[in-house]
Structure 1
Amino acid sequence: MENNQQLIMEPIHYLEHNHEREKQKQKYEQEYENKQKFNQKQNQNKNDLSNSVISVAPMLDVTNTHFRMLCRIISKRTELWTEMVVDDTIIHCYNDETRRATLEYVHFQKNESENPLVLQLGGNHPEKIEKAIEIAFRYGFRNFNLNVGCPSCKVASKGSFGASLFKDPLRVASIVDTCNKKFIDLGLVNTRISIKTRIGVDQYDTYQHLYNFISLVSGINVDNQNKSDYVSIFPDTQDERISLDYSPNNFIGADTFIIHTRKAWLNGINPSKNRTIPKLKYYWVYMLTLDFPSLTFILNGGVTSIEESISILTGDWYMKWYLDFKDIIQNIEIDSNKTKKIKTDNDIIDDHSENSTILNSSIALDDYYMEKNKAEDYERVYQAIRSGKWMNRIKGIMIGREVMNNPFVLSKVDSMIYGINETSGTRITRRIVLEKYCEYLSTIKPRDIQDSGKFTIGELNMYLKPVFGLFHGFSGTKYWRRTLSEFIQRSKKDDTFLVRGPREILLQSLDLFEKEHSDILDLVP
């Protein structure tokens, strides 16, 4: 009987055990499902870029109203910027009736459809920039930026503004404070002037210099007691001439920084080389987002596509860079035979092998010690992104030369960044862009209407220059540029030539181009 009971109980015990296993399995499955949902939510949050900013960098002789109109035709959401306008230019043109037309039809010319539009200002005197803002406000400008990044000799050395201001952060802070208080007087209570800066200038090129600069200009971490500590690494700062009060409820600092991720050399190399020779350091901007969680950072420098922009904004770029960085550091320390012999200060670097791991990496030899010493900081950023705790993300990407050379790169912004779905009938093509730009050109009249209503060669070049790069990367781009140029020159030399205006030249060029390269015109992004 006992044996029978045992025989009966065994399957019951087995069923109970099996039931527990099933419950445990369900628990694991539920935990896994919850984790999957969490990860999915994190990925959705990570890939939600609708609050991000894609902007076109201010470029001299490029980002005038005509180029900006072309950009706006291509993208409805991209933030546009003016060329830099110097405060003295604004003030003198406005005060001189004979020069005011230059201000209105050159520096301040704009269309409402260009908004959101940012006016970039150049200067180093708080009161002058304040006056320039007051004048610009009368012409409808509502967003302003201070140039602390231009390295050209005319601007930085002779003009003592642009990138040279990085060496004098108290002066920049004084300008910012003055402008922000002016905005309140103008009723722009939610507006602050933004700062576009390099990551360093000349010998002031460590992360500590950048950190202290942003602290002083934003007012974060700084008060009247410790101000001198932050300024001490900027010996060129003329703080004795600037009495700046950092007391609570007084100083109004900048809250948005556009970081050009190269340093600038003010002597020895020209502006073109300043855009290529100094190393890009995107990873410093990621560190800034953690060190200043209440500030907004926009990355600028070397970005050539919207896909690359997305990688930077989501943190994917950093994750890949950091893993490469760790490998490089390990290779340097473990396998010295395959890397350069690194010595301190003025010692010689021996190995110049092209196969060196470090030569083909984003970490250069002369940066090795600096970057190695910041390994813990880079790990901190990596863990924040990896765990989904990177709350103050890079808020935007500014693209410059790529848009100048290839404006159609903006065609992916609205859909890929802002999620604006386009039907097959509304997708932007180069043909649509050119047709709409022709409509815009039909509204333009020659400035000198006394000369039989003729456009000058300078005017024709100015109005048509924006579309020269529209077929960048295609075999027909040389044909397109040559056709436009020939029509412009012919309108000057041939009195019998009927195609005189920019709209007519563009339509005629489009007609000829279609006969040779019709397939390119209707390609979608």
Structure 2
Amino acid sequence: MKLATSSYSYSSVTPIHSVFLHKNRRKLSFNIFQGTSSSTTASNSTSTSSSTQTHQLLSTPAAMVSSLRTHRHAHYPPPWFSVAPMMEWTDNHYRTLARLISKNAWLYTEMLAAETIVYQKDNLDRFLEYSPEQHPIVLQIGGNNLENLAKATELAEPYKYDEINFNCGCPSPRVAGHGCFGARLMLDPKFVAEAMSVIAAHTDAPVSVKCRIGVDDHDSYNELCDFIYKVSSQSPTRHFIIHSRKALLNGISPAENRSIPPLKYEYFYGLLRDFPDLRFTINGGINTVDEVNAARRAGAHGVMVGRAAFQKPWHTLGHVDTAIYGAPSSGVTRRQILEKFQVYGDSAVGKYGRKPTVRDVARPLLGLFHSEPGNGVWKRKADAAFLHCTTMKSFFEETLVAIPDHVLDSPIGEPSSGGEDPFANIHTLLPPAYESREQELLYA
């Protein structure tokens, strides 16, 4: 039976029953979404009625903009948990998967250079388009040219992101090299304040800055406070995401910048004390919902998680709604998530000529069965399937036979507990209180 990908929205609440054959998965390997458990049977019967509804994908910019516009001032859960913007990772495909797993997590785009947006103004959907289900969603922009930052923000405004974030934390040589942007901008808070004012002037969305606690030898707590003070006092910025490591711009790789500079959570909690009128989200070294809740108990307004949310999406995002937001368990299974993702994926593959490929679309799925039986075989089959599969349907037909039914059909279990609380004694470690040199800073 042909899968009618163009007439259904991947985000519908129940599985799309009518497009999957009623055969045993082991007899017909392509029927990977028809499980044998009673829970799967129940969900399939529920989905029969929903399959008669029409869920048309928003394929035109006008339709998308109209729909997204209604979301700008919608009521969303507070940003207690967010997924970090990660270059080449938090793309549309990953965010689609993330939203299928967690309804409450705040999602960030990859960093988009302002120049990319400006120079691709006739091809913006490829870079800025997203489905309404991805709300709440934040666009991260990078750049060091005020005119291009203004133009890029203006071009992005019709897409109605829920916040615009400015990158002052990336240590990649491609980004933070001489004359570039990212973490290097922390050395020029006056420019950052100007950039934030320009961005805010061209959007109705709130604006925020993501930064490190320092750069190279400019790593004292007072220097961090000077940066926060100047940017917040000279621009509308009231939200800062703080990666609690400094950036080393010479001699180490971006990966090493995520592990070699020591974490200094005490700097983050010092900011909470010294800037009570601002909002701060902590980032860096936090990988579990237990650690997220521990950071929040210590006072963090929000917590941002990076690699763990990509490398182990089921075990990380799967607990966000219940353990952090207190929502009842949805009972969703990985089979149901993949069922919806297939509809999305087959509408996305080849949308822009040869791109994206099945490999591009399926890449976020490779951590979905982390530490589960069959995971190794599944990944090997995926590597082979990427060489010739041209649809997500054929990719799943070829690979998911490696995953046992009980893994596909089990809802997320209880989060693992225990371990050390990295924030238990944080308030005894705080640096001395910041005293702003107000006149000097304002006119520096």
CA RMSD of aligned residues (A): 1.8
State whether structure 2 residue 407 is matched by structure 1 residue 509: no
CA distance in 1, matches of 2:352, 2:194: 43
Question: For residue 104 of structure 1, what is the aligned residue in structure 2?
Answer: 125
Q: Distance in 2 between matches of 1:173 and 1:197?
A: 13
Q: Secondary structure at the match of 1:253?
A: coil
Among 172, 179, 182, the alignment partner of 1:162 is: 182
Q: Is the 8 A contact 2:136 2:162 kept in 1?
A: no
Distance in 1 of aligned mates of 2:179 and 2:371: 38
| 1:258-337 alignment runs, 5 A limit | 258-315=241-298
Query: CA deviation digits over 1:33-63, x for unaligned, max 9?
Result: xxxxxxxxxxxxxxxxx74521111111111
Shift of 1:435: 1.8
Q: CA deviation at 1:269?
A: 0.5
Q: TM-score of the superposition, structure 2-length normalised? A: 0.72
* 1:236 corresponds to: none
* Cα distance per residue 1:246-276 (max 9 Å; x no partner): xxxxx43310000001000000101010011
Q: After the TM superposition, which of the residue ranges 122-131 and 148-157 deviates more from structure 2?
A: 122-131
2:114 aligned with 1:87: yes
Query: Quick check: 1:181–1:252 contact (8 Å CA) kept in 2?
Result: no
CA offset at residue 179 of structure 1?
A: 2.0
Alpha-carbon distance between aligned partners in 1 of 2:280 and 2:375, rounded to the nearest angstrom: 36
Distance 1:52 1:140 in 2: 17
1:181 counterpart = 2:201: yes
Aligned counterparts of 1:269 and 1:305: Cα–Cα separation in 2: 27
Whether the aligned pair in 2 keeps the contact of 1:172 and 1:217 (CA below 8 Å) is yes
Following superposition, the deviation at residue 201 of structure 1 comes to 0.3
Alignment of 1:83-482 (within 5 A): 83-94=110-121, 100-101=122-123, 103-105=124-126, 107-183=127-203, 188=204, 191-219=205-233, 251-315=234-298, 393-408=299-314, 409-422=316-329, 426-447=330-351, 459-482=357-380
Identity %: 37
Distance 2:277 2:164 in 1: 20
> Are the aligned partners of 1:119 and 1:143 in contact in 2 as well (CA < 8 Å)?
yes
How many Å separate the matches in 2 of 1:178 and 1:124?
A: 12
Distance verdict in 2 for CA 1:52–1:62, change over 3 Å: closer
Instruction: Quote how far apart the aligned CAs of 1:442 are.
Output: 3.7
Q: Offset of 1:445 from its aligned partner?
A: 4.8
Decide whether the 8 Å contact of 2:349 with 2:358 is kept in 1: no
Alignment gaps of 5+ in structure 1 = 1-49, 95-99, 220-250, 316-392, 450-454, 492-499
- Matched-pair contact (CA < 8 Å) for 2:247–2:257: yes
TM-score of the aligned structures, taking structure 1 as reference length: 0.61
User: Bigger radius of gyration, 1 or 2?
Assistant: 1
Contact 1:81 1:118 in 2 (8 A): yes
Q: Give the structure, 1 or 2, with the largest relative contact order (CA under 8 Å, sep 6 or more).
A: 2
Query: 1:521 matched to which residue of 2?
Result: 408
**Residue 61, structure 1, aligned to residue 75, structure 2:** no
The CA distance in 2 between the partners of 1:448 and 1:134, in whole Å, is 24
Q: Which residue identity does 1:204 align to in structure 2?
A: H
Three-state SS of the structure 1 residue aligned to 2:319 is helix
How far the C-alpha of 1:204 sits from its partner, in A, is: 0.5
Q: Secondary structure at the match of 2:347?
A: coil
- 1-structure distance, mates of 2:84, 2:184: 19
Q: Which residue of 2 aligns with 1:42?
A: none
Instruction: Kindly state the Cα deviation for residue 518 of structure 1 after the two structures are TM-superposed.
Output: 2.7
1:489, CA displacement in angstroms?
A: 1.4
- CA separation of 1:52 and 1:507: change in aligned 2, threshold 3 A: same
Separation in 1, partners of 2:335, 2:119: 42
Q: Which residue number in structure 2 is paired with residue 224 of structure 1?
A: none
Measured after TM superposition, the shift of residue 142 of structure 1 is 4.2
**Residues 157 and 444 of structure 1: CA distance in aligned 2, closer, same or farther (over 3 Å):** closer
Deviation at 1:166, TM superposition (A): 0.5
Q: CA offsets per residue over residues 205-249 of structure 1, 9 Å max, x none?
A: 011111111000101xxxxxxxxxxxxxxxxxxxxxxxxxxxxxx
Secondary structure of 2:202's aligned partner: helix
Q: Give the whole-Å Cα distance in 2 for the aligned partners of 1:442 and 1:120.
A: 27
Whether the aligned pair in 2 keeps the contact of 1:438 and 1:507 (CA below 8 Å) is no
> Is the Cα–Cα contact under 8 Å of residues 162 and 206 in structure 2 kept in the other structure?
no
- Structure 2 Cα separation of the partners of residues 432 and 271 of structure 1: 36
Partner Cα distance (1:312, 1:122) in 2: 28
CA contact (8 A) 2:381 2:398 kept: no
Count of residues in Structure 1 that have an aligned counterpart in Structure 2: 335
- The alpha-carbon deviation at position 296 of structure 1 amounts to 0.4
Relative to its length, the structure with more helix (as a share) is: 1
